[in-house]
Structure 1
């Protein structure tokens, strides 16, 4: 097994595909840490003996961040930073921003071990050996070991009451589940008979699956490890249905609803819901250090203030935050720049990684049989697209700084073709009218609105989460232009969860939401956003549900183009890198021709407001959910105050 001190971008992509030949991904340094001062935040606790000294809290080989590669400076300890979230559920962004992962992306989108000390992948890409850092501890000081991986595999995802449908799909290759082995206290292995190109991509995700859990803590809520009468008493006291519900409530690693649950993140939640102010404090056992051996994070506390989304720009302009991108949009840029001189902040514009800033999603699996037939006709989807004046949207809402686009990969992606971005995006009401007439939808009512085949007026209800005011502004402009082709729009605002559930059940006809997360896809990126493999893909939720439940729910794809997408998805899963690229291009070609989603506008710069005294925040970055975790890949644990 060859060991590489640094993983190149090329190698990282091959690792992501599970095809590294006899190679191991390891950290850039195994530098021992010694002779450094205690973190001031913990000095009193160490002096009182309630907390071990720093050197005893760190792993034997902590993750040493390469400041040279990331253009960072050694920082100072102390302080807090404040940011605003639009709703209390968004406290999960602490997990996103912290971006502590078994393996994760660096700012150049190379894949690197993080929580893991090393990762070995065999030549066939079907055997993954994970090496845990010796001495790594949970936030309560308990050892982090192979037992935490075993507990997840045996006692959670393979427990029928906790996971009735079994382990997540990325832990399968076809119908074959992973073979899980414990090699020693700090080494575990996952293997399959064939390569698994999903495994590492999931581990590095913005919201990862957490294939390890704090076993020492959660066992007290598991029927296998605690007296049943004691557990039943807790269940009754909390008015819950079963021990499984109790266990799930006590776990939830991405929701942070249990402030007592141990974590490996840089900051730990200390505030219980409900609240409009959530305080996170530094993790005394965090595994990263700077090049001089100083334990990260530099900043002691992270504050999430909860506020109505409409008030966030005003609060930012009033100087109430230290770091903010969430909820802000380009339309806030002028106001924020005007306030910049009065406040101690800078407004930076970052590139985005999403395939489109917003897109319309016709629900091809809606329950209304008439609308289903209309939406599935590609002429209808193309007509709606050509009846959108994207140039007007760009000028009115984005000062002409954005770009009309389909919902597809970006220019920076090696898979990009100009036609992916441009097809059927020209504003041409004559061509759109001709397509609708050709469909046999020429008959109109007295108001000029076309009639559906069953005689109903063609009134499309577009559902929105109401979280992004820009979506409402876009829909107003689109509604005006659609009237020119005889289509009337109504807008219905819903909570996100309600919208998704309506789409899943087939009640939604069309919705507006963000574009694909990963517009920077490579041949080794999982193409799940472009094929009917996910229930939360709003253009085909029932097909995605069918795939995710192995046919137990939802509907099997019954359109030729959708079937071919799944054929190419299977080809991608079983191919080498050349075959994966071919499959990706076919998938993108099919999407481009069929307009399964209707992209509106893209390349909209993201305002990022940064206090002038905060260091190590990039001047330019990519603001992307996947991959990138917004600030996550830039490591907020390395940000510090120069005051």
Structure 2
């Protein structure tokens, strides 16, 4: 079965494969898990030595200050929406390549990878690797996705994802043998590997053996018609897409490579995720990861997460907790709670950022919001020190939306740009912008005579946002601007922003506040509608100019030029130069109005839970929140242990 793989792999790997399984000193003898022992004894599941890849990933615990653990236990955690069960894919963080603790890319699901000038990427799979149902995981799964999903017009009307397009050209993809996949471009694609490591990865592979049952080119017509009828799907493509939800993680029948697999599909209050018997990681003592057998994820109201954490109803929690919850958590801890409250750093560029919508449908307001003097004035009017004192006990860092000191591109000048409280300068800028007329209530008037009532829509999920906006309401009234806050459901908010119906919105700053030279600056250019300041420019890029609007402001156009410069750069010096100018453009133009950054993120941890880092960053990308810290290595110490 592995003959072709032996020919393709590097010499050192070939030597490993030629020896008896686990005979190499670096691969310990595997230990059967008690969780699956009954299934193994009945013959329903192969023994662990046959379930692991021939070259499993043996994790290095000692170098990261961790201890070898024991299998067992159920870890409880909380989420606030049913669709948030996808966090198990985020936290599990099994990726083809992933970031290590130093934010360097390393092979994970892959055995290895080779990068030739950012043009040719050779991906080597682990021979003998299996999906969670025991089916082989091979290059055929990559081939199925590329040929039958990504390039099938019924399943993917827009074609393969954008990160695979370089100057509009798609790669040449080949599959020389069952453990080798090659992506090749004529021009560099320096963001390819980093994209595979995202918190929400693109999944350039699929469990072909499972999904072919629902694909019109492979399935038995009668059986497929029956399956379509059973779920009342419109077509086989609709059915296929419904079942092909590797990120949503809500189909327990869909095989996975994550450390835990969903065992409870459908709408439930509690979802259970059990250990993947074929997971590819092994600890130095031969114990197959994850250590924890079951993760129980309970869906609760957002407002109850802190209270439930305080009551000891979660073993590991950061999602749904804000800085304001620290006092009640610390009190519960002091009163005999069974948890510790860690304070991690936060990697978002701003805790609270206001996004004037430069693509707002109202022409008069759009012109006002596009005037950089107006955006600068709104920023200068905010008393960030008061917000910091009232909400963060002065532990956050006031400033504009900018990258954090942990990034090589941090600049105090950018953080201070148009962010020092100066109402007099703010008033002067608004006067200079022609907004000199005021109503009887002191609110400035737009050129068409309407009062300058700036409606800011929020997701209504964070009390700290509403508290900050209350302070900003008073600040802005002092310069003749009336702030109107409108809480909405998260999905409704996003849809309104994307369609241009929202005047302004509030969200976090950039998820990645710690970029390096190798980090693609696409998220600081108008390439995605999720940056709420320019949703229609993002749509224009994302749909290959079929929807949205082309950027028509010089700074935005320059951002796109610099993104192209980064993509064509051949060294870190060139990439860094692009980053530095792009961040300067953001600082000058105030596309998003940042408030404060670096507020500590509370992390509640059961006192018996081990290997959770005391000091760490809570980051979406890069990092996948808990993912980069490898929750599969967390374990419960025996009862009675503190």
Q: CA deviation at 1:32?
A: 5.8
CA distance in 2, matches of 1:32, 1:435: 66
Match of residue 350 from structure 1 = 344
> Which consecutive residues of structure 2, in runs of 5 or more, have no partner in the other structure?
1-7, 13-22
Question: What secondary structure, in the 3-state scheme, does the structure 2 residue paired with 1:517 have?
Answer: coil
After superposition, residues 72-221 of structure 1 pair within 5 angstroms as 72-122=66-116, 124-221=117-214
CA distance in 2, matches of 1:326, 1:30: 41
Match of residue 566 from structure 1 = 560
Q: Indicate which of 595, 607, 612 corresponds to 2:607.
A: 612
Q: Is 2:224 the counterpart of 1:228?
A: no
User: For each residue in 1:389-412, what CA deviation from the matched residue of structure 2 results, as whole angstroms up to 9, or x when unmatched?
Assistant: 111110001111111121121111
Match of residue 530 from structure 1 = 524
Q: Is 2:55 the counterpart of 1:66?
A: no
> Which consecutive residues of structure 1, in runs of 5 or more, have no partner in the other structure?
6-28
Match of residue 370 from structure 1 = 364
Q: Is 2:616 the counterpart of 1:602?
A: no
**Count of residue correspondences:** 619
Match of residue 239 from structure 2 = 246
Match of residue 262 from structure 2 = 269
Q: Is 2:594 the counterpart of 1:591?
A: no
CA distance in 2, matches of 1:408, 1:396: 22
Question: What secondary structure, in the 3-state scheme, does the structure 1 residue paired with 2:595 have?
Answer: strand
Question: What secondary structure, in the 3-state scheme, does the structure 1 residue paired with 2:63 have?
Answer: helix
In 1, are the aligned partners of 2:397 and 2:598 still within 8 Å (CA)?
yes
In 2, are the aligned partners of 1:32 and 1:61 still within 8 Å (CA)?
no
Q: Indicate which of 621, 627, 631 corresponds to 2:616.
A: 621
In 2, are the aligned partners of 1:30 and 1:62 still within 8 Å (CA)?
no
User: For each residue in 1:126-176, what CA deviation from the matched residue of structure 2 results, as whole angstroms up to 9, or x when unmatched?
Assistant: 000000000000000000000000011000010001111110011111111
Match of residue 15 from structure 2 = none
User: For each residue in 1:298-346, what CA deviation from the matched residue of structure 2 results, as whole angstroms up to 9, or x when unmatched?
Assistant: 1100011111111111111111111111111111111111110311111
Match of residue 377 from structure 2 = 383
Q: Indicate which of 503, 508, 511 corresponds to 1:514.
A: 508
Q: CA deviation at 1:493?
A: 1.4
Q: CA deviation at 1:229?
A: 3.9
Q: Is 2:500 the counterpart of 1:500?
A: no
Structure 2 length as normaliser, TM-score? 0.95
CA distance in 2, matches of 1:51, 1:595: 58
CA distance in 1, matches of 2:9, 2:249: 39
In 2, are the aligned partners of 1:103 and 1:115 still within 8 Å (CA)?
yes
CA distance in 2, matches of 1:200, 1:543: 26
Q: Indicate which of 441, 446, 469 corresponds to 2:463.
A: 469
CA distance in 2, matches of 1:302, 1:641: 12
Q: CA deviation at 1:232?
A: 2.8
Match of residue 536 from structure 2 = 542
CA distance in 2, matches of 1:176, 1:167: 11
Q: CA deviation at 1:382?
A: 0.3
Q: Indicate which of 393, 397, 405 corresponds to 2:387.
A: 393
- Cα separation, partners in 2 of 1:462 and 1:377, compared to 1, 3 Å: same
CA distance in 2, matches of 1:414, 1:597: 21
CA distance in 2, matches of 1:56, 1:506: 55
CA distance in 1, matches of 2:59, 2:281: 7
- Cα separation, partners in 2 of 1:528 and 1:256, compared to 1, 3 Å: same
Q: Is 2:355 the counterpart of 1:361?
A: yes
CA distance in 1, matches of 2:573, 2:216: 48
CA distance in 2, matches of 1:98, 1:140: 17
CA distance in 1, matches of 2:443, 2:257: 57
- Cα separation, partners in 2 of 1:138 and 1:32, compared to 1, 3 Å: farther
Match of residue 639 from structure 1 = 634
Question: What secondary structure, in the 3-state scheme, does the structure 1 residue paired with 2:344 have?
Answer: strand
Question: What secondary structure, in the 3-state scheme, does the structure 1 residue paired with 2:36 have?
Answer: helix
Q: Which moved more, 1:176-185 or 1:497-506?
A: 497-506
CA distance in 2, matches of 1:168, 1:486: 45
Question: What secondary structure, in the 3-state scheme, does the structure 2 residue paired with 1:477 have?
Answer: helix
Structure 1 length as normaliser, TM-score? 0.94
In 1, are the aligned partners of 2:315 and 2:604 still within 8 Å (CA)?
yes
CA distance in 1, matches of 2:179, 2:286: 23
Q: CA deviation at 1:247?
A: 0.3
Q: CA deviation at 1:36?
A: 3.8
Q: CA deviation at 1:523?
A: 1.4
CA distance in 2, matches of 1:482, 1:195: 47
Q: CA deviation at 1:2?
A: 12
User: For each residue in 1:158-214, what CA deviation from the matched residue of structure 2 results, as whole angstroms up to 9, or x when unmatched?
Assistant: 000111111001111111101010010110100000110121111000110000100
CA distance in 1, matches of 2:263, 2:120: 39
CA distance in 1, matches of 2:429, 2:322: 35
CA RMSD for the aligned pairs? 1.6
